[in-house]
Amino acid sequence: MKKLLRYWNQNKRKILITLAVIALVIIIIQMINAMVKSQNEKDKNKGTNHAVVANDITKPNQSVITNDKLTPKETQETSDFIEKFVDYCNQNKVEEAYNLLTEECKTELYPTKEIFISNYMNQIFKEQVNYELELWYSVTNCHTYRITYHKGNLLQTGGQASSSNFVDYITLLKQNGEYKLNINKFIRKERVNKQGGNKGIEIQVNDKSIYVDYEIYHMTVQNNTDKTILLNDGTNAKDFCLIGRNNSIFTSAISELPTSNLTLSPQYRKTMDIKFNKIYMTQSKVQTMQITNIYLDKNQYDTNQENAEKITVKVEL
């Protein structure tokens, strides 16, 4: 015992310093362990939250094309509205489902409930379906989704591709404070009200109907000359085209129209719809409609005259 007391008295300072260091190391280790545990919990929670969003196939909140995000309120409102539409269709509540469509969609595609039943409901909802959504584009008060309707049990199929599945693109528009729906790849209709002319030929572009994979321009053409004209002979889709930024060209489906539809008698006005091969992209803007090789005298075209008089008309959009 005397030896221990003697050793303590002789090494008291060293012993106290050693004990203090050991205690400090233990405290540091405990603090590090606590920090690691806390970080692991945060990472776990983040992973869990991410998994919930990723697996919620009826409430997407981020565009797969542009990465733009909806607010939580927009996500909830739009997903609830789509769910309501699908539920009405599954329950064969035609009146309720039809009333969720915009007036433009009805006019454009389904002017009567009978046409809506025949061309949409009977094509998809012969039996109960589930669905999953992908948000494609989102601009102010306009959200476009890719919707896949799955027949059968979605949990059993895992959402895998099937010949019985049906893919559509639907767009929610907020009008007067409430949502309405465009379906069957119809995005929306836009007013244009632009015009251009040359040598007595006047072209008024009234509006356009935007679909996922094309656009239809509704226009009025006025022939103020004293001869029958031919707007296009249908041989070159670029003769009737849209021009975008960086001189990108979107060709028309002008060859689908008979020559008679593109012929205008003297002092005659005609309305026409021209389809253009323009895929819907929110960042892709059209600047000009261009019509080249307009025959000012259709007789010259009919008789294959080499020096037939032709003009170009541009409409700045």
Which percentage of the chain shows pLDDT scores above 90?
63
Supply 179's token pair: 């949502």
- List Cβ<8 Å contacts ≥24 apart for 47-50: none
CA distance 241 to 313: 11
> Which of 40-54, 139-153, 216-230 is least confident?
40-54
Q: Provide the pLDDT for residue 245.
A: 85
Which residue(s) pair with 229 in the sheet? 264
> Which of 46-60, 140-154, 161-175, 200-214 is least confident?
46-60
**Average pLDDT estimate for 256-278:** 94
Would you say residue 9 has pLDDT above 90? Answer: no
Give the predicted TM-score (pTM) of the model.
Answer: 0.77
Would you say residue 143 has pLDDT above 90? Answer: yes
Which percentage of the chain shows pLDDT scores above 70?
78
**Average pLDDT estimate for 187-205:** 96
The three-class DSSP label of residue 266 is coil
60-69 burial, b for 16+ CB within 10 Å, e for fewer? bbebebeeee
Q: Provide the pLDDT for residue 146.
A: 96
Model confidence band, residue 220 (pLDDT cutoffs 50, 70, 90): very high
Would you say residue 291 has pLDDT above 80? Answer: yes
Q: Which residues have a Cβ under 8 Å from the Cβ of 293 and sit 6 or more positions away?
A: 232, 233, 236, 239, 310, 312
Q: Provide the pLDDT for residue 4.
A: 56
Model confidence band, residue 214 (pLDDT cutoffs 50, 70, 90): very high
